[in-house]
Amino acid sequence: MILYTLKKTKHQQYLAQLAKLPQSISNFITLYTTKCFRTAILNKIASTKRYIYINSLYFEYDDAGKEILNALYKAKIIRPELDIKIIIDWHRAKRNRIGSSSNITNADWYYQMAITHPGLNISIFGVPINTCEILGILHLKGFIFDDTIIYSGASINNLYLQQHQRYRYDRYHILYNTQLATIMKEFIDQHLLSSPAIQRLDQAYHYNNSQIKKLIKQFRNNLKNCYYQLQNNATNEELSVTPLIGLGKKNELNKTIIHLMSSTEKKMTICTPYFNLPNILIKIINKLLHNSKKIEIIIGDKKANDFYSPPEKPFKIIHILPYLYEINLRKFISKLQYFVDNKQLTIRLWKNGENSYHLKGIWVDNNWQLITGSNLNPRAWNLDLENAILIHDPQNFLLKQKNKELKCIISNTYLIKQYKELENIHQYPIKIKKLIYRLRRIHIDKLIKYII
């Protein structure tokens, strides 16, 4: 117990020593619905005076994407001096969405919009985090509007913005904080857009992989040593925020997640859409449970996974993923059933009709929370460029917002009290079952879970 206390103190000291920025409580707003998120984006586009930086995995050629890009062009017409930059993953922009029948890629659409709006420069940049999509993507989050950050794990498309009936549920926060916005913008300017590996996607010609392969490798190596540059301007007794960014296994974001989880004194809550936690995080959860801490994990039901497809629809190999994640969860619960039984470990699955679940984040006691786009899986841990905002709330100023957000999330969940409540492989559709057995024989299932 003495050794555990010393280690806990070490983790708490790490968090205490992080550089922090003061955050006004009145300037921290939690949004609770997808529609409110969409409205907030459109309102900020219409009112921003100096610059708009949109960071997103993708900016889809669909109704929601058209609405946002049209709003950006309208803002540019009204305020020509407005600096608008869209920063998205290069590989994702150059291919169609899985299952799409369209011949027009997102990059094609960006160029079409540029030539139909001559003289209006809205720069759309494709960022290649690795030489191929499967080995690393731009997973940077946060829409920057002058002194305001709208932070969410969501990208731009019909589901994320609930353009029609269905939605993909995420977390949504607005932070009015000049220092935070400046630091996040400067990182993009200095470490992303300055690289010769970055491609303009709103132009007719793009280099191909082989032409810039060396530039991409150098760009990735440089990013592994890049951080948000900030000085400590807040005490450990006030509401504060710390922006974090990382690429590669031993980055600052990953280290902070480890220390954050390990510092739990009473209870930790985790949200992740894909139950495929890195081994180090599984070990921390085990250790916390054995030291009488409470853990709550909120995951998407298999059918609320964005890769899920009903058995009666055409089958693609990617549709196996929700089942692999469920297998992971079943094994996890079976090993820790004792802690589920004594109510130390709570497992909730989210499901709401045909909508999907994309929430990520960590809450530790009532003092800390992490808002992030990271899926807390091996891919996020090792391959992708991820970021987050760590919130320290020692006076519990945000407790009401925190409790309301969690209440909204939990309202569409159900408890798993026994690992046998989850389907096993024998109950899966025949195509899924056969493919899993085939992949297991050659150990490809482990590789798939590592890179997706």
**170 given a catalytic annotation:** yes
The pLDDT of 166-173, averaged and rounded, is 98
Q: Check if the beta carbon of residue 305 is closer than 8 Å to that of residue 325.
A: yes
d(CA 299, CA 84): 35
Q: Tokens standing for 10?
A: 């070490």
The values of phi and psi at residue 372, to 5°, are -155, 160
Q: Give the HSE-up count for residue 355: Cα atoms under 13 Å, Cβ half-sphere.
A: 24
Total domain count, the chain: 2
Task: Render pLDDT for 281-322 as a digit per residue (tens, 0 to 9).
Answer: 999 999 999 999 999 999 999 999 999 999 888 888 889 999
The pLDDT of 142-148, averaged and rounded, is 98
- Give me the sign of the Cα torsion angle 405, 406, 409, 411: negative
Q: Does 12 reside within a domain? A: no
Q: Does 366 reside within a domain? A: yes
Q: How far is CA 417 from CA 166, 290, 300, in A?
A: 29, 19, 16
What pLDDT score does 439 carry?
A: 82
Consecutive H or E run containing 183: helix 178-187
Q: How sure is the predictor about 429, in pLDDT bands with cuts at 50, 70 and 90?
A: very high
**81 given a catalytic annotation:** no
**386 given a catalytic annotation:** yes
Domain boundary among 223, 250, 266: 223
Claim to verify: residue 98 and residue 177 sit in the same structural domain? yes
Q: Does 16 reside within a domain? A: no
Q: Give the HSE-up count for residue 229: Cα atoms under 13 Å, Cβ half-sphere.
A: 10
The better pLDDT of the pair 407, 9 is held by 407
Alpha helices in 80-126 (DSSP H): 90-93, 106-115
Estimate the share of the chain in helix, then strand, then coil, as percent rounded to the nearest 5: 40, 20, 35
Cα-only R_g, the chain: 22
Nearest by Cα to 412 from 363, 323, 326, 352: 352
Q: Tokens standing for 32?
A: 């609770």
- Give me the sign of the Cα torsion angle 282, 288, 292, 295: negative
Average pLDDT of the chain to the nearest whole number: 93
Q: Does 75 reside within a domain? A: yes
Does the pLDDT value for residue 1 go beyond 50?
Answer: no
Claim to verify: residue 80 and residue 210 sit in the same structural domain? yes
Q: Which amino acid is at 18?
A: L
- Which residue range forms the structural domain that includes residue 151? 26-223
Claim to verify: residue 373 and residue 428 sit in the same structural domain? yes
**312 given a catalytic annotation:** no
Q: Check if the beta carbon of residue 307 is closer than 8 Å to that of residue 357.
A: no
What pLDDT score does 103 carry?
A: 72
What pLDDT score does 449 carry?
A: 63
Residue 64 DSSP one-character state: H
* Coil, strand or helix at 284: helix
Claim to verify: residue 53 and residue 200 sit in the same structural domain? yes
Q: Does 111 reside within a domain? A: yes
Task: Render pLDDT for 102-114 as a digit per residue (tens, 0 to 9).
Answer: 678 999 999 999 9
Q: Which of 170, 301, 393, 405 is catalytic?
A: 170
Domain boundary among 192, 223, 254: 223
Claim to verify: residue 201 and residue 276 sit in the same structural domain? no
Q: Check if the beta carbon of residue 296 is closer than 8 Å to that of residue 346.
A: yes
Which long-range contacts (C-beta less than 8 Å, at least 24 apart) are formed by 115-121? 117/73, 117/76, 120/73, 120/76, 120/77, 120/80, 121/76, 121/84
Q: How far is CA 30 from CA 37, 58, 335, in A?
A: 10, 23, 36
Task: Render pLDDT for 232-249 as a digit per residue (tens, 0 to 9).
Answer: 999 999 999 999 999 998
Residues in CB range of 254: below 8 A, 6 or more apart:
246, 381
Q: Does 96 reside within a domain? A: yes
Residues in CB range of 11: below 8 A, 6 or more apart:
258, 259, 260, 262, 263
The better pLDDT of the pair 105, 386 is held by 386
Claim to verify: residue 446 and residue 319 sit in the same structural domain? yes
Q: Which of 326, 384, 386, 405 is catalytic?
A: 386
Q: Which of 358, 384, 405, 445 is catalytic?
A: 358
Task: Render pLDDT for 11-57 as a digit per residue (tens, 0 to 9).
Answer: 999 999 999 999 999 999 999 999 999 999 999 999 999 999 999 99
Does the pLDDT value for residue 100 go beyond 70?
Answer: no
The pLDDT of 120-147, averaged and rounded, is 95
Claim to verify: residue 55 and residue 176 sit in the same structural domain? yes
The pLDDT of 59-75, averaged and rounded, is 97
Whichever domain contains 408, its CATH number is 3.30.870.10
Q: How sure is the predictor about 101, in pLDDT bands with cuts at 50, 70 and 90?
A: low
Does the pLDDT value for residue 198 go beyond 90?
Answer: yes
Claim to verify: residue 262 and residue 118 sit in the same structural domain? no
Claim to verify: residue 180 and residue 112 sit in the same structural domain? yes
Q: Does 232 reside within a domain? A: no
Claim to verify: residue 244 and residue 313 sit in the same structural domain? yes
Claim to verify: residue 278 and residue 364 sit in the same structural domain? yes
Q: Which of 91, 139, 319, 392 is catalytic?
A: 139
Q: How far is CA 325 from CA 305, 322, 330, 432, in A?
A: 10, 5, 9, 13
Q: How sure is the predictor about 408, in pLDDT bands with cuts at 50, 70 and 90?
A: very high
Question: Which residue do the tokens 């190999």 mark?
Answer: 317
* Coil, strand or helix at 420: helix
Claim to verify: residue 326 and residue 270 sit in the same structural domain? yes
Q: Does 434 reside within a domain? A: yes
Does the pLDDT value for residue 258 go beyond 60?
Answer: yes
Domain boundary among 169, 189, 223: 223
- DSSP states along 228-278: ------S-TTS-EEEEEEE-STT-HHHHHHHHHHHT-SSEEEEEESS----
